[in-house]
């Protein structure tokens, strides 16, 4: 094949640049549509959104059991737009767009356009990204964004290796470490995988990596200091590791490993199936696989090896911690490392029609997601379909405008959003224990376990609490009168 003439190469480069801009515009348009849909449907907040309302009073070093990065960004949005649904939804959709845009920024300088697009769209085949990230999660969305930013920084370091690239990597790793605890799998996986690849090994061996490490440590120092001073609050979610039952009494981690395996299938299965279908169903049998240019080949190998290393490290952590329970979203770092190379390798071995097929699959999935998001807020017993005006009416006898309230994130956050002057707190030790005899209203979904929720809220001797008044009631869903949400209210006081 003849090499393109200089004029042809320039024209092709200009066409690719325009196509790249179109990719980013389409992604931006999709998330703008999701934002508009969220605002148009309205309704109650999801649990993680409601958590942001309760646990983000402003800028602090720490907020609770979750790391502070998402809360910092959310606090900025609240400062600009007030505590509104728009302030919540704009943050999430900008972060999701940023996740795709930064992944594309990592791949595009290293690979042909269609392979860079394919690797980016690998994220659109991950249920924890296209569904859970859009529907419910918050801190996991910050994790996705920082993983993508880390890939972009690593790509820049591999391509250029300037001093500023090392400092940028350190900044990104430091901020990523403040997104979620499992982010550590990404720099650890990339670092160990980089040692197996000569071009990346040379970058890692550079003494400027010490500067990157110093920047990362400087970023995390103050929040880490806060965590050490507020251990009870910072590690209040540790119980989630042992929610499941031990499969074998002496080997409790077998349950955690089983959940890890099923989580991998649930989280990465669709991307793997699509990649396999493209790679083998639409394989270009007449030609060998398309070789990847350097340093693109090195970067794709880096991601694939980092994903395997991260999975091994996660499994080892499950065994060491004796975890009986693992959820799919804890494996997000592995998914976001593995999906791009899966789709890139598949497209490199497939006919040109495979790219159009991938675009069709992703477009169809995006349409289903838009419809599903509407359904998730309206059909059946959807959390977004609870009318909290009914809840407020039922609570009127307790004078909630002046009585301190303790509630879970979902109930408490929705009440706090609608009633900014109410004193609403979550079942975490964020508020001083009330004086003896001072009434506090405890709200739970379903039957209450006062000893448990008050103990988690930092009360001493919660078993001795006095119940002054009680009410069990139900509120209907907006679009399904046949289903109701059962709530319990207990007015309690310390003896």
Percentage of the chain modeled with pLDDT above 70 = 92
Instruction: Name the pairing type of β-strands 440-445 and 405-407.
Output: parallel
Question: What would the two tokens of residue 89 be?
Answer: 């939804």
Q: How far is the first Cα of the chain from the last one, in angstroms, to the nearest whole number?
A: 87
Is pLDDT larger for residue 396 or for residue 481?
396
CA dist 38 and 420 (Å) reads: 21
- The CA-CA-CA angle for residues 290, 296, 297, to 5°, reads 60
What is the mean predicted confidence (pLDDT) over 70-85? 96
Residue 409 pLDDT greater than 90, yes or no: yes
480, containing H or E segment = strand 480-493
User: How many CB atoms are closer than 10 A to CB 352?
Assistant: 11
List pLDDT tens digits, range 312-367.
999 999 999 888 888 999 999 999 999 999 999 999 988 888 999 999 999 999 99
Segments making up each domain of the chain, as ranges? 16-378, 383-493
Which residues on neighbouring strands pair with residue 445, listed in sequence order? 487
Integer angstrom CA distances of residue 402 from 392, 395, 421, 441: 13, 12, 9, 10
Residue 8 pLDDT greater than 50, yes or no: no
List pLDDT tens digits, range 145-174.
999 999 999 999 999 999 999 999 999 999
What is the mean predicted confidence (pLDDT) over 15-44? 90
What is the pLDDT, as a whole number, of residue 253? 79
CA torsion angle for 36, 77, 333, 48 (degrees, to 10)? -70
User: How many CB atoms are closer than 10 A to CB 245?
Assistant: 10
Residue 244 pLDDT greater than 70, yes or no: no
The answer to whether residues 468 and 492 touch, using CB atoms and an 8 Å cutoff, is yes
Average pLDDT, the chain: 91
What is the pLDDT, as a whole number, of residue 16? 66
What is the pLDDT, as a whole number, of residue 99? 98
442, containing H or E segment = strand 440-445
CA dist 41 and 85 (Å) reads: 11
Residue 1 pLDDT greater than 50, yes or no: no
List pLDDT tens digits, range 249-287.
567 778 889 999 999 999 999 999 999 999 887 665 655
Residues 6 or more apart whose Cβ sits within 8 Å of residue 52: 70, 71, 74, 88, 138, 413
Overall size of the chain counted in residues: 495
């Amino acid at each position: 094949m003849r090499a393109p003439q200089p004029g042809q190469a320039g024209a092709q480069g200009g066409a690719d640049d325009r196509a790249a801009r179109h990719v980013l515009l389409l992604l931006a348009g999709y998330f703008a549509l999701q934002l508009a849909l969220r605002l148009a449907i309205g309704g109650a907040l999801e649990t993680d959104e409601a958590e942001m309302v309760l646990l983000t009073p402003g800028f602090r070093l720490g907020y609770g059991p979750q790391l502070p990065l998402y809360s910092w960004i959310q606090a900025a949005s609240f400062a600009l737009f007030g505590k509104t649904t728009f302030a919540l939804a704009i943050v999430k959709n900008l972060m999701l767009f940023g996740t795709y845009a930064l992944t594309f920024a990592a791949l595009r300088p290293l690979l042909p356009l269609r392979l860079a697009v394919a690797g980016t769209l690998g994220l659109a085949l991950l249920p924890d990204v296209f569904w859970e990230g859009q529907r419910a999660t918050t801190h996991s969305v910050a994790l996705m964004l920082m993983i993508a930013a880390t890939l972009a920084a690593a790509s820049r370091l591999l391509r250029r290796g300037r001093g500023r690239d090392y400092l940028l990597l350190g900044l990104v790793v430091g901020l990523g470490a403040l997104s979620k605890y499992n982010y550590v799998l990404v720099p650890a996986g990339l670092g160990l995988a980089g040692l197996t690849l000569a071009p990346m090994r040379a970058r890692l061996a550079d003494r400027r990596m010490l500067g990157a490490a110093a920047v990362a440590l400087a970023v995390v120092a103050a929040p880490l200091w806060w965590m050490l001073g507020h251990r009870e609050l910072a590690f209040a979610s540790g119980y989630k590791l042992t929610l499941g039952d031990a499969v074998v009494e002496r080997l409790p981690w077998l349950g955690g490993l089983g959940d890890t395996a099923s989580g991998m299938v649930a989280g990465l299965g669709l991307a793997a199936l699509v990649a396999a279908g493209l790679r083998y169903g639409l394989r270009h049998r007449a030609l060998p696989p398309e070789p990847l240019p350097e340093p693109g080949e090195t970067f794709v190998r880096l991601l694939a090896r980092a994903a395997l290393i991260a999975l091994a490290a996660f499994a080892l952590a499950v065994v060491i911690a004796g975890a009986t329970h693992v959820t799919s979203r804890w494996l997000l770092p592995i998914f976001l490392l593995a999906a791009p190379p899966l789709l890139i390798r598949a497209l490199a071995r497939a006919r040109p029609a495979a790219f159009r097929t991938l675009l069709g699959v992703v477009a169809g999935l995006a349409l289903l997601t838009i419809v599903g998001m509407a359904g998730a807020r309206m059909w059946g017993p959807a959390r977004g379909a609870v009318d909290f005006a009914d809840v407020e009416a039922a609570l009127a006898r307790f004078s909630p405008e002046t009585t301190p309230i303790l509630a879970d994130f979902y109930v408490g956050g929705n009440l706090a959003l609608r009633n900014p002057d109410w004193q609403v707190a979550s079942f975490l030790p964020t508020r001083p224990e009330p004086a003896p005899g001072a009434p506090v209203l405890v709200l739970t979904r379903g039957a209450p376990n006062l000893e448990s929720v008050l103990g988690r809220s930092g009360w001493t001797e919660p078993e001795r609490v006095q119940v002054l008044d009680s009410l069990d009631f139900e509120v209907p869903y907006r679009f399904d009168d046949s289903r109701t949400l059962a709530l319990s209210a207990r007015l309690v006081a310390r003896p």
